[in-house]
A = this chain, B = another copy of it.
Amino acid sequence: MTNRITIAEAAQHVGETVEIAGWLYNLRKSGKIVFPIVRDGTGLMQGVALKNNLPEDVFENLKHLTQESSLLVRGKLRAEARAPGGYEMDVESVDILQKVSEADPYPITPKDHGVEFLMDHRHLWLRSQRQHAIIRVRHEIIKAVRDYFDNHGFTLVDTPIFTPAACEGTTTLFEVNYFDDEKAYLTQSGQLYNEANAMAFGKVYCFGPTFRAEKSKTRRHLTEFWMVEPEMAFADLEEIKRVAEEFVVYIVGRVLDKRREELKVLERDTTKLEAVQSPFVRMSYDDAVKNLQAHGSEIQWGSDFGGGDETILTQQFDRPMLVDRFPSEIKAFYMAPDPDRPEVALGVDVLAPEGYGEIIGGGQRIHDPELLLRRIEEHKLPKEAFDWYIDLRKYGTVPHGGFGMGIERAVAWICGLEHIRETIAFPRMLYRLRP
């Protein structure tokens, strides 16, 4: 039996006769030769099939084979610089597993399709080279994220998806019917639980899907997105900023190191990614507001940035920005105030360059039990739901903090994508729950 290999393994089998199992990606014909390009999920392999070398029916069947038909091809491998992937197969035999019907052909052709059509056919669209490149970069980013934390002494502690109460405000919660008429809510952030875990393990991270029922239909929002959230006991704002910067440099470096080919498919300008080095631009919220006003924004001190503001800011620099000390008023109840200026919070956002904007938000949490209780009252939150969270300030409270990075926003930035919908296999949005 012929040795079956994947296309990614071709380099180790030059000169050998091997079998590749895959799908017909493209076919060119030239008289007595056909050039089938086969994909197997790991790459593309061009075959060279000569009429004279194959039984007549095999050659004819191959010649009329339809896109995405499944097949086994066997033949000898040659290095061939002009072929996609750098290798070519002299086809010796072909088994067609399924010929896609000519009456009902594969719906995604090389011509342009509208986005809604492609999204409706997401289960098939994923077979395209561009989507492969994005998903492989996403995989690399996720690996890099985990490696960074695993190699820096963080313990992975998964936080729950079902939560009894809101963390980031109640208007954007998805409600679930739990048992016996109880209600649960889908997590918007693992942070509160992360704080308990940090008091147990010192440095922790969680990494899973999070949910926001936002009725916004922008190129930056999904209702279901993955977030990684580290949390550190005994960490202050400066340490949180240091870790966030080192972390972002690390993941961008890993993608440049391992996924050059994919970035090329995406036509990503890699010089922009190579510029992502320490030190990042550091700016206070105060200075950012002045900068924005000087660039024509109508923002006033006390407001959050609009998407347009982040674009104005981040287009001025070639590397990410750390913006810190936002007004406490616009931040979550648990954000620690600056002791020297309590009207600002010890929070930080990391904004990606090229107009991408916020990819990370974080900061120091309140560790003083009385201040936390006051904030829970001021925000009119149900104290009983936070009893366990208050416990963390009663039994050995320490300064602590962390941040969250949305994976899809990081993928969109690193891949250079216009819209976040391509950063995940099956995106979920306001009007998109299928396939």
Q: In the complex the two chains form, is B139's CB within 8 Å of A155's CB? A: yes
Is the C-beta of A18 less than 8 angstroms from some C-beta in chain B? no
**Contact residue among B23, B424, B433 (Cβ-Cβ distance under 8 Å from A178):** B433
Contacts A208-B209, A396-B98 given; indicate if A123 touches B224 (C-beta within 8 A). Answer: no
Contacts A6-B153, A70-B398, A396-B98 given; indicate if A126 touches B176 (C-beta within 8 A). Answer: no
Closest to A429 in B: B179
Give the number of copies in the complex.
2
Q: In the complex the two chains form, is A157's CB within 8 Å of B135's CB? A: yes
Is the C-beta of A271 less than 8 angstroms from some C-beta in chain B? no
Closest to A206 in B: B425
Q: In the complex, what distance in Å separates the CA atom of A116 from the CA atom of B350?
A: 42
Is the C-beta of A100 less than 8 angstroms from some C-beta in chain B? yes
Q: In the complex, what distance in Å separates the CA atom of A150 from the CA atom of B398?
A: 38
Tell me which residues across on chain B come within 8 A of A179, comparing CB atoms.
213, 215, 430-431
Contact stretch, chosen from A194-202, A289-297, A321-329, A330-338: A194-202
Contacts A162-B433, A200-B127, A426-B159 given; indicate if A397 touches B70 (C-beta within 8 A). Answer: yes
A343 → B minimal CB distance (Å):
26
Closest to A215 in B: B179
Q: In the complex, what distance in Å separates the CA atom of A98 from the CA atom of B201?
A: 18
Is the C-beta of A240 less than 8 angstroms from some C-beta in chain B? no
Tell me which residues across on chain B come within 8 A of A139, comparing CB atoms.
155-157
Is the C-beta of A310 less than 8 angstroms from some C-beta in chain B? no
Q: In the complex, what distance in Å separates the CA atom of A150 from the CA atom of B213?
A: 33
Q: In the complex, what distance in Å separates the CA atom of A213 from the CA atom of B162?
A: 12
Q: In the complex, what distance in Å separates the CA atom of A175 from the CA atom of B176?
A: 6
Tell me which residues across on chain B come within 8 A of A426, comparing CB atoms.
159-160, 193
Q: In the complex, what distance in Å separates the CA atom of A146 from the CA atom of B186?
A: 25
Closest to A193 in B: B426
Q: In the complex the two chains form, is B106's CB within 8 Å of A200's CB? A: no
Q: In the complex, what distance in Å separates the CA atom of A104 from the CA atom of B146?
A: 39
Is the C-beta of A341 less than 8 angstroms from some C-beta in chain B? no
Q: In the complex, what distance in Å separates the CA atom of A337 from the CA atom of B155?
A: 43
Contacts A136-B155, A202-B41, A213-B179 given; indicate if A224 touches B162 (C-beta within 8 A). Answer: yes
Q: In the complex the two chains form, is A106's CB within 8 Å of B156's CB? A: no
Q: In the complex the two chains form, is B388's CB within 8 Å of A435's CB? A: yes
Q: In the complex, what distance in Å separates the CA atom of A177 from the CA atom of B215?
A: 13
**Contact residue among B143, B391, B431 (Cβ-Cβ distance under 8 Å from A146):** B143
A153 → B minimal CB distance (Å):
6
Annotate A52-66 by CB proximity to B: 1 below 8 A, 0 otherwise: 000000000000000
Q: In the complex, what distance in Å separates the CA atom of A159 from the CA atom of B426?
A: 7
Q: In the complex, what distance in Å separates the CA atom of A23 from the CA atom of B396?
A: 7
| CB-contacts of A192-222 with B (<8 A) | 193, 196-203, 208-209, 211, 213, 215
Tell me which residues across on chain B come within 8 A of A389, comparing CB atoms.
123
* Known pairs A21-B233, A164-B433, A184-B433 / 9 extra A-B pairs, C-beta < 8 Å: A41-B200, A42-B201, A97-B398, A126-B157, A132-B201, A143-B150, A174-B177, A175-B177, A193-B425
Which residues of A are interface residues toward B (Cβ below 8 A)? Answer: 6, 8, 21-24, 40-42, 68-70, 97-98, 100-101, 104, 106, 121, 123-124, 126-127, 131-132, 135-136, 138-139, 142-143, 146, 150, 153, 155-164, 174-179, 182, 184, 186, 193, 196-203, 208-209, 211, 213, 215, 223-224, 226, 233-234, 387-389, 391-392, 394-398, 424-426, 428, 430-431, 433-435
20 pairs of residues in contact across A and B, judged by CB atoms under 8 Å: A8-B153, A21-B233, A21-B398, A40-B233, A41-B198, A97-B398, A98-B398, A123-B392, A126-B200, A131-B200, A132-B200, A142-B156, A146-B146, A160-B224, A161-B209, A161-B428, A162-B433, A164-B433, A175-B176, A179-B431
